[in-house]
């Protein structure tokens, strides 16, 4: 882990923080709870930041690429002074958050998890970070991730693998693994990731927290190292749906509160054939969650997603592999990184990502322009239409399914394959199976925790909604969260 050191006022700030005798109970509180306690003078931002820094300690699970301890303490002191002087405050005033390291934060390295960008220090925030800071949030640091966001384990060969919040020997998921870990392990109350095919929802599910992928276009993309402008979006990760509602409001410029939906009025689609394609513990917890929803009046509707999956198989990789060649090159030039996509590729250290860039992005197996144009003009609109018809025909408020077919697997053995129901299957394809189709269609998706396996690992439930139904989907999430017992915090 690399730490950014700020020497101005360092001694005074560290002395002040030590004198605060940080309350370890603070790290169990949500962002909404902490914002209220800071606003009502029940605690201070300095006390809150110090509590989380104490929880992070030496960060043995490798959540951070850059931890800005002293910068966060200085910002906390300024937040407390502003509150005491009667200045205007936002809904996240004085609350620390973490930011995935492919999202620019001024004055801090933004590596995207790769060595070629390790010296790039942007002088302006990404738009989403600017909105969070304007709401009063404090950036604790930049979190570890799968290299260039091209994977779902966060086993990063450059900065080290990210451990799971509930078991450091297990993967944290990806590509926003560091943010998922940090929120799950109580290193921060909330954070920001990015999601192209599941990269917010997968680590949220595997670390026992909630993650939200908005409809594409809901949040601005400027300042985010891209994969695909068609599919990319930032997304918040938190420990409560109330926090996701608040964060979505800040990021989208919408309302920051919402009421739970009435489960008795909801029709929720459940894909056919799930039992054969997920692990036994995932199936058990998913069925238990559905039972809790039906006991409170929700109507479950069996739906056939085979046509959607068939179209998605033709859409997914051509978009990503063609657009990253264009979009990453444009980004590197526009933000004056001094790098080309070829230079970035040369420095990739993770074998899976190196193969993708050398062979499938820049090599002879790159997607032809004609194939991409067919996908973007014909097949993706067909996928979006299929989703629209599915929701309308069945009068669905949401689709429900396990976020991932399996819980987290061992870091040492899961880079390429994992075991699913006695069969060895490809890790990447398995973990994005449920999250990828909605990503390609650009619809909103929400993952929330539903329980722990017999081995103590979290499992997530995903809810997908029609395009631009983001606030209604979050309201459904509030109702579902209330119906399912909260997970215990991970053991330290």
pLDDT digits (tens, 9 = 90+) for 40-91: 999 999 999 999 999 999 889 999 999 999 999 999 999 999 999 998 799 9
Both tokens of 357, joined, read 């860039």
Most distant pair of Cα atoms in the chain: their distance: 64
pLDDT digits (tens, 9 = 90+) for 393-426: 999 999 999 999 999 999 999 999 999 999 999 9
pLDDT digits (tens, 9 = 90+) for 341-373: 999 999 999 999 999 999 999 999 999 999 999
Residue 211, beta-bridge partner list: 237, 447
pLDDT at res. 88: 79
Whether domain 2-252 has CATH 3.90.1300.10:
yes
Classify 44 as helix, strand or coil: coil
- Give helix then strand counts, H and E, for the chain: 17, 16
At residue 4 the predicted structure's pLDDT band, cuts being 50, 70 and 90, is: very low
Q: Could you tell me the pTM of the whole model?
A: 0.96
Both tokens of 286, joined, read 């998913």
Question: Domain residues of the chain, as ranges?
Answer: 2-252, 264-483
pLDDT at res. 329: 98
Q: What is the dihedral of CA 221, 227, 229, 234, to 10 degrees?
A: -40
Classify 401 as helix, strand or coil: strand
pLDDT digits (tens, 9 = 90+) for 146-200: 999 999 999 999 999 999 999 999 999 999 999 999 999 999 999 999 999 999 9
Q: Are 400 and 463 in contact (CB under 8 A)?
A: yes
Residue with tokens 């193969």: 355
pLDDT at res. 13: 56
Q: Which fold has domain 264-483?
A: Amidase signature (AS) enzymes (3.90.1300)
Classify 50 as helix, strand or coil: helix
DSSP code at position 58 = T
Both tokens of 206, joined, read 């595997």
Q: Is the pLDDT of residue 20 over 50?
A: no
Q: How many residues does this entry show for the chain?
A: 492
- Alpha helical stretches, state H, 394-421: none
Q: Are 225 and 149 in contact (CB under 8 A)?
A: yes
Q: Is the pLDDT of residue 247 over 70?
A: yes
Q: Is 100 a catalytic residue?
A: yes
Q: Which of 32, 50, 69, 100 is catalytic?
A: 100
Q: Is 175 a catalytic residue?
A: yes
HEC string for 201-256: HHHHHHCCCEEEECCCCCCCCCCECCCCCCCCEEEEEECCHHHHHHHHHHHHCCCC
Of 203, 140, 177, 173, nearest in space to 63 by CA = 177
pLDDT digits (tens, 9 = 90+) for 98-132: 999 999 999 999 999 999 999 999 999 999 999 99
Q: Provide φ and ψ at 392, rounded to 5°.
A: -70, -45
Q: Which of 199, 258, 277, 475 is catalytic?
A: 199
Matching CATH topology for 2-252 and 264-483?
A: yes
469 to 271, 300, 390, 476: CA distances (angstroms) = 20, 19, 15, 11
Both tokens of 479, joined, read 């109702």
Q: Which of 45, 154, 175, 258 is catalytic?
A: 175
Residue with tokens 């820094």: 53
pLDDT digits (tens, 9 = 90+) for 303-335: 999 999 999 999 999 999 999 999 999 999 999
Contact residues for 56 (Cβ-Cβ < 8 A; gap 6+): 63, 64, 67, 140, 187
Q: Is 199 a catalytic residue?
A: yes
At residue 18 the predicted structure's pLDDT band, cuts being 50, 70 and 90, is: very low
At residue 491 the predicted structure's pLDDT band, cuts being 50, 70 and 90, is: confident
Chain centroid to CA 16: how far? 33
Q: Are 298 and 391 in contact (CB under 8 A)?
A: no
Classify 327 as helix, strand or coil: helix
């Amino acid at each position: 882990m690399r730490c950014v050191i700020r020497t101005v006022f360092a001694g005074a700030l560290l002395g002040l923080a030590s004198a605060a005798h940080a309350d370890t109970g603070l790290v169990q509180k949500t962002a909404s709870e902490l914002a209220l306690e800071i606003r009502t003078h029940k605690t201070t931002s300095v006390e809150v930041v110090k509590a989380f820094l104490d929880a992070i300690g030496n960060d043995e699970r490798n959540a951070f690429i850059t931890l800005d301890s002293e910068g966060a303490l200085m910002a906390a002191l300024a937040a407390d002074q502003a509150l005491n002087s009667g200045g205007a405050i936002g809904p996240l005033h004085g609350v620390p958050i973490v930011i995935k390291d492919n999202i620019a934060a001024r004055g801090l390295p933004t590596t995207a998890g790769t060595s070629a960008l390790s010296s790039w220090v942007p002088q302006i925030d990404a738009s989403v970070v600017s909105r969070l800071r304007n709401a009063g949030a404090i950036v604790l640091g930049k979190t570890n991730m799968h290299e260039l966001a091209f994977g779902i384990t966060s086993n990063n060969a450059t900065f080290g693998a990210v451990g799971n919040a509930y078991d450091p020997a297990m993967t944290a998921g990806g590509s926003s693994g560091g943010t998922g870990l940090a929120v799950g392990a109580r290193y921060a109350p909330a954070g920001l990731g990015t999601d192209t095919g599941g990269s917010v929802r997968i680590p949220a599910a595997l670390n026992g927290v909630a993650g939200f992928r908005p409809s594409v276009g809901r949040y601005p993309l400027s300042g985010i190292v891209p994969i695909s402008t068609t599919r990319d979006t930032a997304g918040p990760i938190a420990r409560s749906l109330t926090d996701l509602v608040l964060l979505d409001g800040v990021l989208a410029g919408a309302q920051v509160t919402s009421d739970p939906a009435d489960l008795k009025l909801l029709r929720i689609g459940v894909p056919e054939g799930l039992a054969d394609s997920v692990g036994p513990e995932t199936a058990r917890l998913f069925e238990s969650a559905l039972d809790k929803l039906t006991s409170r009046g929700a109507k479950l509707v069996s739906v056939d997603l085979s046509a959607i999956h068939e179209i998605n198989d033709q859409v997914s990789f051509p978009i990503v592999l063609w657009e990253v060649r264009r979009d990453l090159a444009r980004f590197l030039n526009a933000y004056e990184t001094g790098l080309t996509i070829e230079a970035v590729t040369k420095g990739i250290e993770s074998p899976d990502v190196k193969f993708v860039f050398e062979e499938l992005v820049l090599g002879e197996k790159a997607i032809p322009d004609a194939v991409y144009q067919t996908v973007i003009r014909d097949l993706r609109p067909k996928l979006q239409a299929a989703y629209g018809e599915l929701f309308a025909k069945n009068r669905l408020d949401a689709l429900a399914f396990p976020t991932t077919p399996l819980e987290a697997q061992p870091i040492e053995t899961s880079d390429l394959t994992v075991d699913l129901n006695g069969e060895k299957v490809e890790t990447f394809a398995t973990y994005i199976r449920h999250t990828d189709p909605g990503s390609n269609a650009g619809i909103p998706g929400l993952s929330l925790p539903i329980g722990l396996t017999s081995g103590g690992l979290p499992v997530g439930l995903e809810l997908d909604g029609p395009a631009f139904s983001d606030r209604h989907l979050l309201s459904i999430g509030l109702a579902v969260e209330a119906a399912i017992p909260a997970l215990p915090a991970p053991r330290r």
